[in-house]
Amino acid sequence: MPTGRQGALELRLASAAVAMPIIVLLIWTGARWYTGVVAALLAVATLEFQVARGSRLGVLAFMGAALSAGLAVAAHARGEWLIWIVTGAVLLPLLWAVVAYPIEDAVSEWLWSVGAVLYLGWLGCHLVLLRDAGDGRDWVYLAIFSTFATDTGAYFVGRATGRTPLAPAISPGKTVEGAAGGMVSGIVAVLLFNYLLGLRVEAALIVPLAVLLPIAAQAGDLIESKLKRSMRVKDASRLIPGHGGLMDRFDSVLIAIVVVYYYLKWVIL
């Protein structure tokens, strides 16, 4: 039976083999099914965040999970729903923290709850906003799978040739060589998906995005690593064999999807 790094790699590959067809189908389907699944995943990731920081799964944690899910649903509904949910994400945890927690814990509990909803729910709802944009299905494919390509390139190049620590205080396993491998694979993936998906965005517009996406993806990975280090945990949970929790899988996607959405909205469209 494989152990150590080889066993971890096999678990990662097995989990990816199961997840990839499901992700492809959900993105293709779009609309309510896609929105519902994104909402559920963001809710679970928000609960993982609360558990990782040592919080009990009480009213405040489930309130945050519901608000994160609500942001995904509101993103699909459009109108003023997003404004209302964001307002609720600030006010409802504040009211509960004031009522239910002792004075010395009220501020920290409120800030942690709001931070979880904004980090996972608000950033994550851009998965729905992008899917609902023009040619949204193809743009989500490009964003998600180029991010995966960035992660994969960084992982395998870093594993094979990594010698120079990238950010040892945050994530000792990450190397400059791995980051370079992630950049190259991410750039190639964006350019390739732009062609294969028929988006055919001109070079002057797609090349900057091809550079920005792997930077955003790797920044997202480092951001989550620092958050987990401040919480003194290695993984958000053990929900996905070989990968950790949903929060661990969203790390690169959260920043990359925001970059792609606003680049599409402000530069390409």
Helix 136-161 with 246-263: angle, nearest 10 deg: 120
Q: Is residue 156 part of a domain?
A: yes
Whether the model pTM is above 0.75: yes
Closest CA to 49 of 247, 255, 251: 247
pLDDT of residue 1: 40
- Please indicate, yes or no, whether residues 141 and 119 belong to a single structural domain of this protein: no
pLDDT-derived band at 209, boundaries 50, 70, 90: very high
pLDDT digits (tens, 9 = 90+) for 22-66: 999 999 999 899 999 999 999 999 999 999 888 778 899 999 999
Give the structural domain span for 41: 30-132
pLDDT digits (tens, 9 = 90+) for 67-115: 999 999 999 998 899 999 999 999 999 999 999 999 999 999 999 999 9
Q: What is the CA radius of gyration of the chain?
A: 19
- Please indicate, yes or no, whether residues 141 and 109 belong to a single structural domain of this protein: no
The two structure tokens encoding residue 110: 């409120």
Q: Is residue 8 part of a domain?
A: no
d(CA 254, CA 53): 19
- Please indicate, yes or no, whether residues 174 and 242 belong to a single structural domain of this protein: yes
pLDDT of residue 178: 97
Residue 245, Cβ neighbours under 10 Å: how many? 22
Number of domains in the chain: 2
Is residue 170 a contact partner of residue 225, using CB atoms and an 8 Å limit? yes
Tokens 């280090």 belong to residue: 229
Regarding beta strands 171-175 and 165-167, do their DSSP bridges make them parallel or antiparallel, or are they unpaired? antiparallel
pLDDT digits (tens, 9 = 90+) for 213-263: 999 999 999 999 999 988 888 888 888 776 788 998 899 999 999 999 999
Q: Is residue 117 part of a domain?
A: yes
Q: Which amino acid is at 34?
A: Y
